[in-house]
Copies of this chain bind each other. A is one copy, B any other.
Amino acid sequence: MLPFQTLLTINKDSAAPVYQQIANGLVGLIRDGVIKPGAGLPGSRELALILQVHRKTIVAAYQELFTQDWIETIPRKGVIVSQKLPEIKPRSFKAVAKIPAYAGNTGFPFQQVGPYPATMVRSGEHRLMINDGFPDHRIAPIDMLMREYRSLFHSPGIKRYAAYGSMSGPLSLRTELTGFLSETRGLNIGAQNILLTHGAQMSIYIAARLILKPGATVLVGDPNYFMADMIFQQCGAKLQRIPLDEQGMDVDAIAAICKRKKPDLLYIIPHHHHPTTVTLSAERRMKLLELIRQYRFPVIEDDYDYDFHYGGSPILPLASADHDGNVIYIGSLTKSLATFMRVGYMVAPENFIQEAAVLRRIIDIRSDNVLEEALATLFRNGDMQRHLKKSVKLYHERRDHLCNLLDQELKHVVKFHKPAGGMAVWAQFDKKYPLPAIAAKAAANGLLMSDGASYSFHTHNYNALRMGFASLNEKELSEVVEILKKLV
């Protein structure tokens, strides 16, 4: 007889009942060919003795296996492994000591998406972190949201969120957004022009998937937001990089390309460009709009932190001008909340939104409707607008504080322009101080920071990083600069 006491392990602390553990163990032995079809199993009394369990437990286990067709009862022979089961190649005791199925690699080839540039150099615990430009979760309107959650969860309306609801996201938030986007951005749209997604990133992905075919050409900045580059490459597109200076993307270069061949897509961040923070000048904006109307190519306008502008008014998006339905506008509410609350939106002509909503559903059925409904309420009663105003004031101060510090303490090391908005300073380090070395030393001093790889990997080494200032208070910003100063 097989050594069942070693083959079948019973864990009395497990949540699974013992009879089920025994049944599952036997299934494993049958399935792996250790016990063959037709082979006899010990009687329930005998197996109970071997395994030191109550006989009823074995009876229950056998009952289970019987129901699942793994075993059958033959008169005068007792319990045997079902003879209908296929003979499989003998694996005998290999099964006992076998490598678990997931311990090795896949048995098949598949697409390699990578490389994903490391964004942070880690080394144990850290006290401080320079991120890419995240909001400060410490000022996020958590209490207001919790208040709304409580009231939503206990309202009869919760029924609506339990069903799948509109493919584009809750009408309440889309309606509030039409008002908000009209007031802040001059966008003249209806709720049918909005798709809510689980963050702005998903909006970019969905728009790109709808627009791009393999082999397509996408115009992007040099440099560009690397996660957008990765999306376009994932769609099988080729990137064509457009030079970028203090005025933003070189629109004449785009015009020259259009004359030869219409691009399949232009991805542009005209306001607080990522990573460099530059803003497209008025002149180039007008030229670009004219090109868009003339050649009718699709444009993704990524305006992820429009709401955070400090030098006067923000510049209206391309989307607010006359573009004959060619501009897909993408924005984020995550930046106004916290990175762990993901709400983004896409603005487009209705025919595009309809397809985007279907694609969104098959990728990710829907967003967090309760969060979206809660946000709708906060917009409706003005809480969100007040929160934004407060955040902008605070981040404005933090920007000034960081820029002053960089000027005073690191002038010889860091080159930067004070950004007109957003949540980060584009800091180019002197080549004498390579960022990978700085980041490694910083990590040892409790400061987590990028080694610059995510901004440089695609073309050349800028030896630069985005220094997010929004999520650090003035004291923390001072500490950060102090550490950096010590390291150079």
Q: How many residues of A contact B (CB 8 A)?
A: 130
A324 at the binding interface (Cβ < 8 Å): yes
Q: Give the complex CA separation of A370 and B145 in angstroms.
A: 13
Contact A184 B351 (CB under 8 A): no
Beta-carbon nearest neighbor of A352 in chain B: B106
List of B residues within 8 angstroms of A70 by Cβ: 282
Of B89, B189, B193, B362, the contact of A205 (CB 8 Å cutoff) = B362
Contact B364 A102 (CB under 8 A): no
A407 at the binding interface (Cβ < 8 Å): no
Beta-carbon nearest neighbor of A17 in chain B: B313
Q: Give the complex CA separation of A108 and B265 in angstroms.
A: 10
A188 at the binding interface (Cβ < 8 Å): yes
Contact A108 B297 (CB under 8 A): yes
A391 to chain B, nearest CB (A): 14
Beta-carbon nearest neighbor of A61 in chain B: B313
What are the 8 closest A-B residue pairs judged by CB atoms, nearest first? Answer: A100-B188, A137-B162, A107-B326, A107-B296, A113-B358, A69-B282, A108-B298, A107-B324
A352-380, CB < 8 A from B: 352, 355, 358-359, 361-366, 368-370
Q: Mark A74-110, 1 if CB is under 8 A from B, else 0.
A: 0000000010111011010001001011111111101
A321 at the binding interface (Cβ < 8 Å): yes
The answer to whether residues A183 and B282 also contact, given A24-B316, A210-B110, A321-B31 and a CB cut-off of 8 A, is: no
Q: Give the complex CA separation of A67 and B16 in angstroms.
A: 69
Contact B113 A359 (CB under 8 A): yes
A342 at the binding interface (Cβ < 8 Å): yes
Most buried by B among A91, A286, A340, A351: A340
A348 to chain B, nearest CB (A): 7
Task: Write 21 A-B pairs (CB below 8 A) sorted by A numbering.
Answer: A14-B183, A15-B183, A27-B282, A28-B320, A85-B283, A85-B286, A88-B290, A102-B347, A102-B349, A106-B349, A107-B296, A108-B298, A116-B167, A199-B364, A205-B363, A209-B234, A231-B362, A340-B366, A340-B370, A342-B368, A363-B363
A109-146, CB < 8 A from B: 110-114, 116, 119, 129, 131, 134, 137, 142, 146
Q: Give the complex CA separation of A282 and B7 in angstroms.
A: 20
Contact A189 B100 (CB under 8 A): yes
Q: Give the complex CA separation of A84 and B210 in angstroms.
A: 37
Q: Give the complex CA separation of A114 and B356 in angstroms.
A: 10
